[in-house]
Every structure is written in structure tokens, then in C-alpha cells.
Amino acid sequence: MTVKRRSKPVSVNPLKIGQSLGGVLAMQGCYRAMPIVHGSQGCSAFPKALLTRHFREPIAVQTSALQEMDVIFDANRNLEEALNAVLSKHRPDIIGIIGTELTDVAGVDYQSMLKSYKRERNMRGGLAFSVTLPDFRGSLESGYSVTVEAMVDELIQQAGLRGQRNVNSRQITLLPGSYLTPGDVMELKEIVSSFGFEVIALPDISTSLSGHLLTGFSPLTRGGVPLDSMLQSLQSGLTIAFGASMERPARRLHNALGTPYKVFQGTMGLKASDELLNFLHQISGVPVPIRYCWQRENLLDCMLDAHFQFAGVSALAALEPDHLRSVSEWLDELGVEQKALITSYETPAVAEMEREVWVGDLDDAEVLGSGADLWISSSHGIAGAERIGAAFLAAGFPIWNELGSYMNVSVGYRGAMEWTNKAGNLLMRREAEHRESRVRHR
């Protein structure tokens, strides 16, 4: 199907999120890391505020704090000062410089500056890389993917392998997409490891943004994948990427090291879970653990129990591209009419979908999805769902109207069952409220 856009002069209640936030999110999944946003103070305050509100955890991020005159005369001076301060005060293992639209439009060559900086100070034992993530392109998903890709490139360069490595056939590298929650990443790690594999997730937000009580304060990320494990991941016998946006980092590993990879574009529902479990069974030779056989039975029974709630129901979903595709496949399995599918920007993954997809905002969701029974989007869509009288299911980023949403699981049989029950309960509650309303108005 073709991807469409409504003709309108402005964006109303935007769905699109700046790429730099995706870059900061990716860095949170690395241990003792520090992203430095090379732009104005607002460019780092925005991701920090939104990520803190969503995960309810401290978010590590610094900024080069550019002003107009800095950009005109010497933006690299601010970046050098920021690097000096971060390295002297915090000594991070990993530094990611995230260029914004301000430095991109100004033509600042901070990538060459970083190379010179590393050479002059003989930086060894750590990882430092840079990415350009202007907000006028892509969205959270692309910013996250590009950052992971740059991280992988720097790892390969630092290790100096280029095709020569000691392959560990029982080790798998996971590249989780930006739409997966810490709970999702934890579930995927558990599923893959249950077939006898050692698993390294890159990045790994399941151990950094999953909620933990640690004494003291650290300006660096706490939890996530350590640098030595990141380097060890280069020895993996296989890469598994979740989400089409993560194919590029997986391909980088394949082109440089010859590591084969498998991409799972969907992660939700019965079919997607069957494909993952069957693939792991085939490559490991290990029977599917009995607990997943039981979870599959539970899911089938759950879908049967809930079919009355989903019969004749229509839904709209407004999500990032990979997430939208995954949710659409789950809705298909439930027999739900998909009244409108809206995403933040066009990707090959959504262009390949068999349904009509719109690139737009939450105002488009409200117009195109008028009359829908179920609304699936971030918390920015609550008001729109109320206006069209739809039950609201929080998904994507950011979510601030629920506690613990970052630990929700949508992947595997268990995740599909949780989502099916949750959506069914919301529809039941909406139906009960409509009955009560009709009784009151008689």
C-alpha cells in the first residue's frame, strides 16, 4: 500500500519526536555512558525531561550549550570544553556526541574535531563516537537506530577485527528496536537464553531503565551493557535484530565481520512469537521449553475468551514505524478493523504494509480515526481519544498517565496475552460506561 499525507499547513499535536531523543535513549542502555548533545541547552533539556517523565529514572545527558555567537565563531570550542569537563569530572567509559539541527545547518565539522581530539589526547580504553541527528529528518526511531549503528562502527574500528575473530557460536547479539520497553528487552533476552545461548543486548535498557534502587548519585548511566561486553559481542555467531530499523546496524556487523543476522520485523502476537521460537529451535537444536508451550496455549485461550470484546470493533494506532507495523499485525490476529494507521515518518517497513498508512500527527489520528472504538498511542493522544469517544490504550513514547508502563511486556506469547487482556478490559469498561450513560439519559 502507498503511504499518504494529509494536506495541511501545520502539525497539530505532533506525533513525531526529535531524533536526538532517540540517540539519548540508545545511550541509556550502555553502562557508564554519557551522551553529549552538541546544540543549545534546550536540545538536551527536552530529551532529559521527556525521558525522565516516561521512565521515572535519572537520565544521563550533557550539552555543549551553544549560543548564536558560538555557532557563528567557533562551535567546536564549546564541544571541546564539554568533553574536557565530562572526561575530567566523570570519566565515562562511553561518550556519544549527538549533533543537532543547529550544528548540522551551520555546517559544523565536529566529527573531524572529535578525531583530532582523540588523537591529541591519546584516548584509549574508552569509546567515543559522534552522530548527526537533526530534528527535521526522521523521528525517535531513526535517531536511535543511527546511534546504535555509529556505536557498532566504533566498536569494530576499536577492536580492529575486520573479519578476523574467534566466533562463539553459542553467543547471540540482540539489537532491540527503540519501541521495545525494558520489560520487552528482558523478555527477549530470557527467551533467547532459554535455548542455551549467551545473550548480549546492544543497547540494553532492561538493566538501566527498568527501575532500581541504587544509593548515591551518578551523572553517568547506571546499568546497561558494559563496554567489555559490547566488545565481546563482536565475537557472536549471530545477530538478531528486532524491528526493521535495526537491520542497518546488523548489516554493519555482517559486512565488517561476516556475522550472519536475522531481522524480526514484528514482535507482537501469535504468528510473530511462533516465528521467533521456531527460529531459535532450528538454530539451537533445543526443543521449545515447556513454559512457552503453555504460554502459547494460554494465549490461544485468551484470544478465544476475548473474541466477543473484539468482534465488530475498530481501532486506530498512531506510533513509530516499527511499532505501528508490529501492533497492526497483532490487531489483524484479533480480527479488529484498523480504521486508521498513523506514523511519524515514512520507512520501507511501513511502505511494505498491506494497509493504508498515513504520515502525520495526532490531529490526523482524530480525523481519520473518527468513530474508532480503541485508540492506541502515546499519552499525547488522551484528549483526542476522549473527543472521539474511544477507549485509550497507552503505547509508545512518552507515557506519563500510567505507573510502570516501561515494564509492560508486548513480545512473546506472554506479551500478546497481556495486551489482549488489557485492550479487552478497556473495551469492556467503555461498553459499560456507554450503557450507564444511556440509562441516565432515559
What DSSP assignment string belongs to 127-184? EEEEEE--TTSS-HHHHHHHHHHHHHHHHHHHHT-TT----EEEEEEEEE-TT--HHH
CA distances from residue 431 to 16, 421, 424 in whole angstroms, order as listed? 31, 15, 11
Mean pLDDT for the stretch of residues 359-363: 95
At 219 the pLDDT is 87
**pLDDT tens digits, residue range 33-79?**
999 999 888 877 888 999 999 999 889 999 888 887 777 777 788 88
At 204 the pLDDT is 97
- Indicate if the pLDDT at residue 266 is higher than 80: yes
At 41 the pLDDT is 80
Q: Which long-range contacts (CB under 8 A, 24 or more apart) does 331-336 make?
A: 332/269, 333/269, 333/270, 333/271, 333/303, 334/303, 334/306, 334/307, 334/310, 334/420, 334/423, 335/307, 335/310, 335/311, 336/310, 336/374
pTM to 2 decimal places: 0.94
At 116 the pLDDT is 87
Those residues with Cβ within 8 angstroms of residue 308's Cβ, 6 or more apart along the chain or in another chain: none
- Indicate if the pLDDT at residue 163 is higher than 60: no
**pLDDT tens digits, residue range 118-135?**
888 877 778 999 999 998
Alpha-carbon gap, residue 100 to 135, rounded angstroms: 7
Q: What percent of the chain has pLDDT over 70?
A: 98
- In this structure, the number of other CB atoms found within 10 A of the CB of residue 9 comes to 4
At 110 the pLDDT is 84
- In this structure, the number of other CB atoms found within 10 A of the CB of residue 90 comes to 15
CA-closest candidate to residue 270, choices 374, 377, 419, 394? 419
At 294 the pLDDT is 97
Question: pLDDT averaged over the chain?
Answer: 92
Q: Which three cell numbers stand for residue 58?
A: 535519572
Q: What percent of the chain has pLDDT over 90?
A: 73
**pLDDT tens digits, residue range 315-346?**
999 999 999 999 999 999 999 999 999 999 99
CA-closest candidate to residue 64, choices 76, 53, 78? 78
- In this structure, the number of other CB atoms found within 10 A of the CB of residue 25 comes to 26
Those residues with Cβ within 8 angstroms of residue 74's Cβ, 6 or more apart along the chain or in another chain: none
Mean pLDDT for the stretch of residues 368-377: 96
Q: Which three cell numbers stand for residue 3?
A: 503511504
**pLDDT tens digits, residue range 146-155?**
999 999 999 9
CA distances from residue 437 to 326, 388, 429, 442 in whole angstroms, order as listed? 35, 16, 12, 9
At 161 the pLDDT is 57
Mean pLDDT for the stretch of residues 278-286: 97
- Domain 19-149 fold is Rossmann fold (3.40.50)
Dihedral (Cα; 52, 54, 55, 56), 10-degree rounding: 60
Q: Which three cell numbers stand for residue 192?
A: 533467547
At 274 the pLDDT is 97
How are strands ordered across the β-sheet holding 94-99? 62-63, 33-38, 94-99, 127-132
At 164 the pLDDT is 61
pLDDT band at residue 394, thresholds of 50, 70 and 90? very high
Domain ranges in the chain with CATH number 3.40.50.1980: 19-149, 168-288, 291-440
At 113 the pLDDT is 86
At 167 the pLDDT is 92
**pLDDT tens digits, residue range 208-233?**
998 776 666 788 998 999 999 999 99
Mean pLDDT for the stretch of residues 400-425: 94
Q: Which CATH class is domain 168-288?
A: alpha beta
CA-closest candidate to residue 327, choices 181, 179, 175? 179
At 439 the pLDDT is 75
Could you tell me the CATH superfamily of domain 291-440? Nitrogenase molybdenum iron protein domain (3.40.50.1980)
- Indicate if the pLDDT at residue 26 is higher than 90: yes
The beta-strand segments (E) located in 203-250 are 236-242
Q: Which three cell numbers stand for residue 288?
A: 521449545
CA-closest candidate to residue 48, choices 98, 122, 120? 98
- Indicate if the pLDDT at residue 365 is higher than 90: yes
At 1 the pLDDT is 63
- Indicate if the pLDDT at residue 162 is higher than 70: no
> For 105-109, 200-204, 231-235, 381-385, which range has the lowest pLDDT when averaged over its residues?
105-109
> For 111-120, 229-238, 252-261, which range has the lowest pLDDT when averaged over its residues?
111-120
